[in-house]
Chain A
Amino acid sequence: MSITRKRFLVGAGLVGGGIAVGGVRGLLAADEAGADDGTGHIAFHGTHQAGILTPQQDRLHFAAFDLTTSNVKEVRDLMRAWTEAAAAMTAGALVGSDTWQPTAPPDDTGEALGLLPNRLTITFGFGPSLFRADGEDRFGLARRMPPALKPLPDLPGDEIDRAISHGDLCVQACSDDPQAAFHAVRNLARIARGVAVLRWSQLGFGRTSSTSQNQQTPRNLMGFKDGTNNITAEESDAVHRKHVWADSGDGADWMHDGSYMVTRRIRMLIEVWDRASLADQEQTIGRLKASGAPIGGSGEHDDPDFKAKDDKGMPLIPDAAHVRIASPDNNRGIRMLRRGYSFTDGFDDQLGQLDAGLFFIAYQRNPHKQFVPVQRRLGANDQLNEYIVHRSSGLFAVPPGIPDRPGRFIGDSLLN
């Protein structure tokens, strides 16, 4: 009979067999808390939520939820329960009780037992509809809605399916192990039952950005290096504050040290892309496919020379090339922290084609000053639009992180 079992008998008065499963694993997690010493524990607590500046993990499970309650107290309880579960899971501990009783379903679903968290981070966000939906102030929070969370306008080229867009709450679970990320979303959805339901969900199987200078730039499903000029963790706090972190002076005190997340499910018409010649592909992107160098450059990290001309006097990097239109140089210095993933949802039965693309995630201080103007230009002019369709869109306020103190929970600056 184990110690945990004995504790359970005393604590809950259960007569019957309990099976303690979490003790050893819990110990490991406790010893390693606060440090990533190779076992893959990323601290959950801190000034900012983890999963933003964290060097980007390989796998994503993203989920958006709709609240079914109309009681703000239940929203608060949900965020409290989610915070406790997320702190446990990211530390490699079980959700809820680690003593399992035969007569009840285990609190934790179990598929992460014996797995290390593999740098699991769980990041929470609030959608505009938490504050106001169909003109209604659902939870008495409307007056605290940040100006930056105003719903995104219709953007050129959008073909957004509402059923897989938006949501009252969101969870971004990232890990180097897909099962750790899945386990997180599954257990959070279970905890939410009766208060919130899944609205839509997206898996990502490979990162398409680097958020650390120690990471290789990955390739997206078009076969090109993506995110070469991304904001990285190693850049200065001033850079992060300017482009990523919300400030109390921005119009919502409670969002200080938070950020705003834009998600876009970008379907790639990869069958069409695969028929484009190498020259067409490179001129569409503005980079060389093999090396990742900008056209006219020789190394991946060379700055693109947007003024360079070919021998006929035409721009070397075409006017409609993706890199030209998206570049901070041509967007008054606008930058975002991109954290996207390649996805495939298998087969598109309607078209008989692979259903694949890029699940774009970007963090920023104000989407209306960053994502929106850049996407307006891209949607209108980007040569890449021949090969992509934006089918899902999401905007979420990602509240600040919290210290590891009793009573604190993600979103408490808004909900308390």
Chain B
Amino acid sequence: MIVTRLVPLAATLTALLLALVAAGCGDEKSETSSAPPVTNIAMTPELTAAVDDYREYVADQADDLVQRTTEFAEAVKNDDIDEAKRLFAYARAPFETIEPVAGSFGDLDPRIDSRENDAVEEQDWTGFHRIEKALWVDGSTDGMDEVADTLVDDVKELQTQAKTVELTPVDMAAGATDLLGEVSKGKITGEEDRYSHTDLYDFQANVDGSKQVFVLLKPILEQNNPQLADEISQEFDDVYAALGDYKRGDGYVSYTELTDADTKKLSQSIDALAEPLSQLAANLQS
């Protein structure tokens, strides 16, 4: 962040001088502009291509989500608890990579991903975490057939909507930061997967989704602010390195194995990445 902040500071001094000039004209009251926020930026062929590529990525993830969730649902309906547990984090991952996009589809996100306390009524609680509780807490799939079928229907609906989603480069960039916000809020606290403790799988999926946005926009950022591009690349590497300490086999250690020192380190590495990444949207135009 350091370098990227020095430039605006110099700009502030200029602003102060100009403000003094304005004050000399007796015009200081007009310093506070009320221009409406404008978040659209002029599209270029490069930006259009990045958005198209990202839409393709989202669609691919949604396809994976349907396929994996179907496998997971089969295991649940076959009452194969061990297999269902094994597939839980794997099935969810493609949802976690595109969560901000999924969140824009009405109530699909809560239907697929709400936690027990998010649901208004117990009988309305559906989705991955409802089944997670059955598998890890109840040790039984009783009553889960219908929930599993509904989950498959819901991810299929997501798959359909993903094909036509409207996206702008600013949405993409904001989504990349939002995914890291998801990590800070839910995964690093162990709140997301409170029964299975597979939070680090979701952690990686969120970071993967964020990284994908960055990779697609990076050539544009390198033109406009190469220093910021380098900084973000370096911080992504650092996050993956920090996360790598907790890899076990194909997956990750249980969240319950993390100490306070572990979660602090992971959390601070996410903060170090998210801070420069939050400047991405404002640096997409030359």
Binding site for B on A (CB under 8 A): 1-8, 11-24, 26-27, 30, 68, 74, 77-78, 80-81, 84-85, 88, 93-99, 101-105, 107, 190-195, 197-198
Could you tell me the distance between the alpha carbons of A300 and B276 in the complex, rounded to whole angstroms?
Answer: 54
In B102-119, the 8 Å CB interface with A consists of none
Could you tell me the distance between the alpha carbons of A192 and B11 in the complex, rounded to whole angstroms?
Answer: 20
Interface centre among A85, A105, A193 (most CB of B within 10 A): A193
Q: Are the C-beta atoms of B8 and A23 separated by less than 8 Å? A: no
In B201-246, the 8 Å CB interface with A consists of 231, 234-235
- B241 CB to nearest A CB, Å: 12
- Give every chain A residue within 8 A of B268 (Cβ-Cβ): 68, 197-198
Interface centre among A12, A13, A74 (most CB of B within 10 A): A12
Closest to B30 in A: A2
Could you tell me the distance between the alpha carbons of A238 and B115 in the complex, rounded to whole angstroms?
Answer: 66
A192-B9 CB under 8 A given contacts A20-B33, A102-B39: no
Q: Are the C-beta atoms of A107 and B5 separated by less than 8 Å? A: yes
Closest to B232 in A: A194
Kindly state whether residue B161 has any CB partner on chain A within 8 Å. Answer: no
A16-B18 CB under 8 A given contacts A191-B1, A192-B1: no
A102-B37 CB under 8 A given contacts A7-B14, A23-B28, A193-B271: yes
Q: Are the C-beta atoms of A77 and B2 separated by less than 8 Å? A: yes
- Give every chain A residue within 8 A of B3 (Cβ-Cβ): 77
Q: Are the C-beta atoms of A27 and B20 separated by less than 8 Å? A: yes
Binding site for A on B (CB under 8 A): 1-3, 5-6, 8-9, 11-12, 14-16, 18-23, 27-42, 170, 173, 231, 234-235, 268, 271-273, 275-276, 278-279, 281-282, 284-286
- A323 CB to nearest B CB, Å: 40
State the 10 A-B residue pairs at the shortest beta-carbon distance, nearest first. A23-B31, A104-B282, A97-B8, A102-B37, A17-B38, A193-B275, A103-B281, A96-B8, A194-B272, A4-B15
Closest to A7 in B: B18
- Give every chain B residue within 8 A of A194 (Cβ-Cβ): 1-2, 231, 234-235, 272-273, 275-276
Could you tell me the distance between the alpha carbons of A20 and B170 in the complex, rounded to whole angstroms?
Answer: 21
- Give every chain B residue within 8 A of A95 (Cβ-Cβ): 5, 9
- Give every chain A residue within 8 A of B34 (Cβ-Cβ): 19
Task: List 16 A-B pairs, Cβ < 8 Å.
Answer: A8-B15, A13-B286, A15-B41, A16-B39, A22-B15, A24-B31, A30-B16, A81-B9, A88-B9, A93-B12, A102-B37, A103-B281, A105-B278, A107-B5, A194-B1, A194-B275
- Give every chain A residue within 8 A of B285 (Cβ-Cβ): 13-16
Q: A4-B18, A16-B39 are in contact. List 14 more A-B contacts (CB 8 A).
A: A3-B18, A3-B22, A8-B15, A13-B286, A15-B42, A19-B32, A20-B31, A20-B33, A24-B29, A97-B11, A101-B282, A190-B275, A192-B1, A194-B272
Q: Are the C-beta atoms of B2 and A11 separated by less than 8 Å? A: no
- Give every chain B residue within 8 A of A103 (Cβ-Cβ): 39, 41, 170, 173, 281-282, 284
Could you tell me the distance between the alpha carbons of A190 and B5 in the complex, rounded to whole angstroms?
Answer: 11
Could you tell me the distance between the alpha carbons of A98 and B21 in the complex, rounded to whole angstroms?
Answer: 16
Could you tell me the distance between the alpha carbons of A192 and B284 in the complex, rounded to whole angstroms?
Answer: 24
Q: Are the C-beta atoms of B33 and A88 separated by less than 8 Å? A: no
- B45 CB to nearest A CB, Å: 17
Could you tell me the distance between the alpha carbons of A93 and B28 in the complex, rounded to whole angstroms?
Answer: 16
Q: Are the C-beta atoms of A98 and B15 separated by less than 8 Å? A: yes
Q: Are the C-beta atoms of A68 and B12 separated by less than 8 Å? A: no
Could you tell me the distance between the alpha carbons of A81 and B278 in the complex, rounded to whole angstroms?
Answer: 19
Q: Are the C-beta atoms of B36 and A17 separated by less than 8 Å? A: yes
- B58 CB to nearest A CB, Å: 21
